[in-house]
Amino acid sequence: MPTGMSFSRRALLQNAALVSGAALAGSIAPRPVRAAALPEVQPADLQLDPQRLQVAYDLLEKWTTGPNAPVPGGAILVGRHGKTLQPRFFGRQGPEPDAEPIRDDAMFYMASVTKPVIFTAGMLLVERGLLNLSDRVSRYIPEFTGQGREHTQVLHLFTHTSGLPDELPRNAELRSQQVPLARFVEEIIKAELAFKPGTQFSYSSSGTILVAEIVQRLSGRSIREFVREEIIQPLGLKSTGLGSQGFARERLVRTTIPEYQVGSPGNWNTQYWQEFGSPAGGLFSTPQDYAVICAMMLNGGKSGETRLLSPATVRMMTTNRLNDLPDLPEPVCRTQPWGLGWRLNHLGMSDSWSDLLSRRVFGHTGSAGNVVWMNPETQGFCIIFTNYLRARAPWRLVHLSNAVAAAFT
């Protein structure tokens, strides 16, 4: 149970019954640990057109060059069939005009590209018979009731249809106070729903944090510990963490911060937030490490000799689950598809990743200027990490994605 949480006697008793399953969650036989880095090959080995790929590299180099560069720094890594090209790094380690050149071991702030990792943690508990997506959230968080909250299913949290806000109204204030995760959870549990669960779609970072809270209560471990022990270590990821603890700060890429964070002791580049490990956006990783996750998902949940997820789980996570919600409007289901934690490409929408990728392509975007996508049709994937604010020019990531997508033959 997270430090700082307080519950009623009824809630404690119900929670104790649930946490009795934690022994099962911790009794799974350890998976073999594999080396993280995927083999690096040449474009021809992956049937990739090097000239079309060069378009993407040239674009990012152009945008990261010069004192007034619109993008301080970034990296591109493209892979296919469990192998990758050599990652390419561009620009500076931070947004400051005199920032040092970007490091080849740079760890990027993932922002919302964190979320699929948290939902993967939840799906591991589904596989172990500890969590049902069709259950009401109140079964696992008994105090999440009142004002219609009792109708919220776990599935609604996974598909951003819960009615919970994206950010809390007091988000900036809480960050400035440098409060622990438990305080955010307390506020989210009391947050007013914007609509009846399952009737509308509205992206919700708060919902992701509640999924992390469910994982904590069922496993008896912090979400940081669970992610490290059940996902990061089994996949052999050496430069990935939910929060930056244990990594040299000079490796951490400093990102452009939003206006509301300027001067705040809780902005993205402060030690507090870097170490906070927010389930909604607190992962740090390298392109090479995240490539292992991409390859694992395209390989039906298996990485080397390690099976992290079952093929059935991967299928459900990467296909449109909005169709499972009877009260959701049909146009939303059709044009804004979401899986379980992973988003699918939104063709014809302003948040599309590429004009050349179908709606079967799954991945995620981060507000710090990141996009990751995987294409089951080509078995290829693309990782673009930067440190500019995506909201200021979302089209930059689309241009880069178009160039990369065009390189697959």
Q: 330: domain CATH number?
A: 3.40.710.10
C-alpha span between 247 and 228 (Å, rounded)? 14
HSE (CB half, 13 Å, CA atoms) of 197? 24
Give residue 67's pLDDT.
80
Domain range for 181 is: 36-406
For residue 328, count other CB atoms closer than 10 A to its CB: 18
Asked whether residue 268 is assigned to any structural domain, the reply reads: yes
Alpha-helical runs (H) found in 89-138: 115-127
Give residue 94's pLDDT.
97
Asked whether residue 14 is assigned to any structural domain, the reply reads: no
HSE (CB half, 13 Å, CA atoms) of 256? 24
C-alpha span between 231 and 8 (Å, rounded)? 32
Interior angle at CA 110, CA 105 and CA 114, nearest 5: 125
Instruction: For residue 75, give the nearest of 287, 230, 263 by alpha carbon.
Output: 287
C-alpha span between 310 and 25 (Å, rounded)? 16
For residue 296, count other CB atoms closer than 10 A to its CB: 25
User: Does the predicted model carry a pTM greater than 0.85?
Assistant: yes
Asked whether residue 18 is assigned to any structural domain, the reply reads: no
Alpha-helical runs (H) found in 142-204: 154-158, 171-176, 181-190
Scan for tokens 């996750």, then name that residue.
293
Asked whether residue 249 is assigned to any structural domain, the reply reads: yes
Give residue 36's pLDDT.
62
Phi, psi dihedral angles at 241 (to 5 degrees): -160, 145
Count of structural domains within the chain: 1
Give residue 35's pLDDT.
53
Asked whether residue 5 is assigned to any structural domain, the reply reads: no
Give residue 98's pLDDT.
94
Asked whether residue 298 is assigned to any structural domain, the reply reads: yes
Strands 306-307 and 343-344 turn out to be: unpaired
Asked whether residue 153 is assigned to any structural domain, the reply reads: yes
Low-confidence ranges of the chain (pLDDT < 50): 1-27, 29-30
Residues in the chain: 409
Which amino acid is present at 40?
Answer: E
Asked whether residue 28 is assigned to any structural domain, the reply reads: no
Tell me the C-alpha to C-alpha distance, in Å, between residue 204 and each of 267, 328, 378: 20, 16, 30
